[in-house]
Amino acid sequence: MEKLSNPQKTIEVIKKHGFDFQKKFGQNFLIDEHVLDKIISAAEITKEDFVLEIGPGIGTMTQRLAEAAREVAAVEIDRNLIPILQETLAEHDNVTIINKDVLKLDIAELAREKNGGRPIKVVANLPYYITTPIIMSLFESGVPLSSITVMVQKEVALRMQAQPGTKDYGALSLAVQYYAEPYLAANVPQNCFIPRPNVGSAVIRLARYAEPPVHVKDEKLMFRLIRASFNQRRKTLLNGLKNSPELSFSREEILEALARAGLPENVRGETLTLEQFAALADVFADMQI
């Protein structure tokens, strides 16, 4: 079958099936061969790999994944796309199409069944409003994972890979960088999609660390500190922690912890590295005992 990255082919398939784009599912289909090349090469897919594709649409990227990988499972929420996928992927016998909301899919079970529990690669071009929850739930749930290569809103990609002291640095940067090494693979302009989205996009690969880059006694406490310090970005860390509904440390306890962690009283959360947040969390954890 002719490649769906050819815009004429995409339009032909959509018309043939009388497909209506659903805004609620964030449907913008890729129509650029070079972007597909970049996604496939960033994801570093080999014939050994089992790939989970989230949101295949009409199968544009799935066709390429099927050629590159050993096996692909493509999870699509919109049942109107299933007959289209069956047609566009008919030549590939290594693709399983699953009609389901990925948020309700047992991905660990899928990894067990299809990949013997070994780490899987995830590739996705998703609606932007569910991208961050899906990425975080993949990391936090402990699904065996090698990498996630995902198309995101450009601003989100910049936040994921931001370093301390920059305007994009925040809770998302620290959450992502605790679990994975980010690599910005491509910027993707609006005209690479049908229909054209309102914002620019980027492809980012998040390569899962076997071990987190920092060891912390109480991971949950560290993330509470991180959220508290970025909730009130313009305030000092002291005030951010004091005002957080998730924490109940007194001003004196916070001052003591900052001193023990070697941080000045007026330090701002946005300047702290992951290592410094981990060290501070360990001081608080010791004080709670």
Residues that bind ligand SAM (CB under 6 A): 25-30, 54-57, 60-61, 75-78, 81, 101-103, 125-127, 130
Q: Which of residues 152 and 206 has its CB atom nearest to ligand SAM in the complex?
A: 152
Read off the tokens for 287.
Answer: 């004080």
Read off the tokens for 212.
Answer: 């987190």
Rounded Cα distance, 152 and 272, in Å: 25
Q: Which of residues 26 and 119 has its CB atom nearest to ligand SAM in the complex?
A: 26
Would you say 218 and 178 are in contact if contact means Cβ atoms under 8 Å apart?
A: no
Rounded Cα distance, 279 and 262, in Å: 10
Distance in Å, CB of 177 to ligand SAM, minimum: 25
Distance in Å, CB of 114 to ligand SAM, minimum: 17
Tell me: cis bond preceding 164? Omega within 30 of 0 counts.
no
Q: Which of residues 98 and 171 has its CB atom nearest to ligand SAM in the complex?
A: 98
Q: Which of residues 36 and 237 has its CB atom nearest to ligand SAM in the complex?
A: 36
Distance in Å, CB of 33 to ligand SAM, minimum: 12
Residue labelled with tokens 């957080």: 244
Distance in Å, CB of 180 to ligand SAM, minimum: 21
Helices (H), the chain: 7-16, 33-43, 60-68, 82-88, 107-115, 128-140, 154-160, 171-179, 219-231, 237-243, 251-260, 274-288
Kindly report the number of other CB atoms within 10 A of residue 188's CB atom.
Answer: 24
What value, to the nearest 5°, has the Cα angle with vertex 129 and ends 126 and 130? 60
Distance in Å, CB of 231 to ligand SAM, minimum: 28
Q: Which of residues 39 and 283 has its CB atom nearest to ligand SAM in the complex?
A: 39
Q: Which residue is nearest to ligand SAM (CB)?
A: 55
CA 26 to chain centre: 16
Distance in Å, CB of 9 to ligand SAM, minimum: 12
Q: Which of residues 127 and 212 has its CB atom nearest to ligand SAM in the complex?
A: 127
Distance in Å, CB of 48 to ligand SAM, minimum: 23
Read off the tokens for 9.
Answer: 């082919």
Q: Which of residues 27 and 276 has its CB atom nearest to ligand SAM in the complex?
A: 27
Distance in Å, CB of 219 to ligand SAM, minimum: 27
Q: Which of residues 35 and 257 has its CB atom nearest to ligand SAM in the complex?
A: 35
Rounded Cα distance, 22 and 195, in Å: 11
Could you tell me which of 200, 198, 194 has the C-alpha nearest to residue 4? 194
